[in-house]
Amino acid sequence: MLLTVDKTGRTLVPDELFDRLTARIAHDHPELAPDLPARIMDQALAFLGACAVTAEPIGPTDLVDIGWHTFILHTHDYAEFCDRVAGRFIHHEPVPDDSRPSAPEPVGAPISRTVAAITAAGFALDAPLWAARAADCSSKCHQCHAGCHDSPKK
């Protein structure tokens, strides 16, 4: 019987970039436990790796979203990553308030869908980082794919 070893998100970027992003998270979020910045960045990268191959809308938890936001701020590195890993830019854009439905609906995708997409893409899951509620980016974010101009669902 062959054992399958899940890959980590951090394998998607060079060590120097991973370390730089992790240091930025630690600097910007001194309230985090010392082990969390690296774990957050690893899972943000795994999430983005899953975004590259899933057609379903998926979204991160609040903690994992910290990693995504940190990476986006490094625009050249993020754009190169998206092109290399997904073959397109992975958008994370807020939408105008008036485009939201009037009936109260949860924003973003169910975390269970995201977890399934990450594991289906072959990435190791840091389960405690996915036990929190979904990030809503000020309740205005579609998250990965949903509503993007280059969504694979369109």
Query: Could you give the C-alpha distances from 101 to 70, 75, 104, 139, in angstroms and in order?
Result: 29, 31, 7, 12
Task: Please give the average pLDDT of every successive group of 10 residues along the chain, which has 154 residues.
Answer: 71 98 98 98 98 91 95 98 97 58 53 94 96 54 42 38
Which tens digit of pLDDT belongs to each residue from 100-130? 454 344 455 789 999 999 999 999 999 999 9
H-type helices in 29-110, by residue range? Answer: 36-51, 62-73, 75-85
List the domain boundaries for the chain. Answer: 9-92+107-130
Interatomic CA distance for residues 28 and 79, integer angstroms: 22
